[in-house]
Amino acid sequence: MNMVNVLFKREFAGFFATPVAYVFILIFLMLSGIFTFYIGNFFEREQADLLPFFNFHPWLYLFLVPAMAMRTWSEERKSGTIELLMTLPVTTWQITLAKFLAAWAVLGLSLILTFPLWLTVNYLGQPDNGIILAAYIGSWLMSGAYLAIGICMSALTKSQVIAFILSVVICFLFVLSGSGVVLEAFQGWLPTILVDTIASFSFLTHFESMSKGVLAMNNLMYFLISIGVWLFASLLIIEQKKAD
C-alpha cells in the first residue's frame, strides 16, 4: 500500500506539473456555472437547492472525464515510459490503482472548488444542506465510474483520441440506459425485470436518487462495483499487452 501511496503522489503531482489539471478545473468550474445559471435557470427558479447544478453533472463528466483519463495509459505507452514503469518493483494493479486515485482526487478537488455555488445558494435562501452533501458524494462516486471506464479505454489503445472517443461512447451508453428513450425501446417486448435491470445500469438513475438526499447502499455499491470491474478490466488489458 505504501507503494500505491508513492505512485499516487507522483501521478497527482504530474497533473499539476502540466496545465492539464488547471485547464480541467477551470473548464469544469466555468461550464458547471454556465449550465447551472443559463440552462438550469438556477436563479429564475427561485428554489434554494442545487438541483440545476447537479443535474448536469452526468453530461459534464461525459466529455470532461474521458478527456482527463485518455492520457493515463496511452501517453505512457506512446512515450515508452510504460516499459520503465513495468521494470520497477511494483505490480500493475498498484500502478492502476494509483493512477485512478490520483485522477479521482483531481475530480474531487474540482468538485470541492465549486463551493462558491454552495455559498451562493446559502446566501439566497435556506437550502437543505444534507441533500447537497449527498449529491456531492453521489457526484464524486459517479465521476469515479466514468474515470474507471476512461482508464480502461486508455489502456486499450496508444492513441489518445481513440481512447477519448471510445470512452465517451461507452459512458454515453451507461448514461443512456436509464433514459426514457432507451427504456421505451425495450418496454413491451422485454419482461419488466430485464427492463428494470437495464435501467439499473444507468449512471443517471443511481445518481438521481442520491442527488435527492438519500444515500442508498445499492447506489453506492453500484458505483463501487463499476469502478472495481472497469479497473480490473484495464488491469487485464495491460497484463495482456505486456505479454504480447
Partner 1 sequence: MKFSNTVTYPLLAVLFFGLVLLSNQLFKSARIDLTENQVYSLSGGSKSILSEIDEPIELYFFFSDKASEGLTTIRNYADRVESLLQEYESASNGKIKLHLIDPEPFSEAEDLANDYGLTAASAGMGMDPIYLGLAGSNALDDEKIIPFFDPSKEQFLEYDLSQLIYELSDPEPVKVGLITGLSLTGGQNPMTGQFDPAWTIYEQIQQLYQLEDVDSSAQSLPEGLDVLLLIHPKGLSDEMLYAIDQFALNGGKILAFVDEHHESDPMAAMSGMAGANSSNINRLISAWGIEVDAEKVLLDAALGLDIRTQTGGITKHLGFVGLQAPGFDDEDVTTANLDSINGASFGVITLLPEATTTITPLLQSSEYAATGSSMAYAMTRDPEQLFGQFDQAQAAQHNLAVRLSGSAPSAFEGKPETAQSAAEHLSQTDKLNVIVVADTDMLTDRFWVNKSNFFGQMIASPFADNGAFVTNAIENLGGNNALISIRSRGTFARPFEKVDELTVKAEARFREQEQALEEQLAQTEQQLAELQTSGGEDGLLVLNEEQQAAIDSFMDKKIQIRKELREVRHQLDKDIESLGAQLKLINIIVAPLILVLAVFFLRRSFRLRGAA
Tell me which of 7, 8, 25, 204 binds partner 1, using CB under 8 A.
Answer: 25
For residues 179, 215, 28 and 169, what is the CA-based torsion angle, rounded to 10 degrees?
A: -30
- Residue 139 binds partner 1 (CB under 8 A): no
For residues 147, 220, 13 and 151, what is the CA-based torsion angle, rounded to 10 degrees?
A: -20
User: Would you state the cell numbers that stand for residue 91, as one nine-digit string?
Assistant: 505490480
Cα(201)–Cα(158) distance, integer angstroms: 29
Pick 185 or 225: Cβ nearer partner 1: 225
Cα R_g (the chain), whole angstroms:
19
What binding mask, one character per residue, do residues 203-242 give for partner 1 by CB under 8 A, x or -? ---------xxxxxxx--xx--xx--x--xx--x---x--
Burial label, 74 (beta-carbon count in 10 A; 0-12, 13-18, 19+): buried
Contacts (CB under 8 A) with partner 1, residues 184-203:
197, 200-201
Pick 59 or 201: Cβ nearer partner 1: 201
Instruction: Give, in degrees to the nearest 5, the angle at Cα 231 between 224 and 110.
Output: 65
- Residue 22 binds partner 1 (CB under 8 A): yes
Give the binding range for partner 1 (CB under 8 A) out of 65-73, 84-92, 116-124, 143-151. Answer: 116-124
Give the binding range for partner 1 (CB under 8 A) out of 29-37, 55-63, 64-72, 85-93. Answer: 29-37
Cα(164)–Cα(214) distance, integer angstroms: 32
Pick 91 or 120: Cβ nearer partner 1: 120
- Residue 49 binds partner 1 (CB under 8 A): yes
User: Would you state the cell numbers that stand for residue 144, as one nine-digit string?
Assistant: 469515479
Q: What is the DSSP string of 102-152?
A: HHHHHHHHHHHTTHHHHHHHHHHS---HHHHHHHHHHHHHHHHHHHHHHHH
Q: How many residues bind partner 1 (CB under 8 A)?
A: 55
Tell me which of 14, 62, 75, 120 binds partner 1, using CB under 8 A.
Answer: 120
For residue 40, the minimal CB distance to partner 1 (Å) is 10
For residue 226, the minimal CB distance to partner 1 (Å) is 8
Residue pair 187/195 in contact (Cβ under 8 Å)? The answer is yes
Tell me which of 36, 94, 157, 160 binds partner 1, using CB under 8 A.
Answer: 36
Cα(148)–Cα(230) distance, integer angstroms: 5
DSSP letter assigned to residue 56:
T
Pick 83 or 128: Cβ nearer partner 1: 128
Pick 161 or 173: Cβ nearer partner 1: 173
Contacts with partner 1, residue ranges (CB under 8 A) = 16, 21-22, 25-26, 29-30, 33-34, 36-37, 43-49, 51, 109, 113, 116-117, 120, 123-131, 133-134, 197, 200-201, 212-218, 221-222, 225-226, 229, 232-233, 236, 240, 243
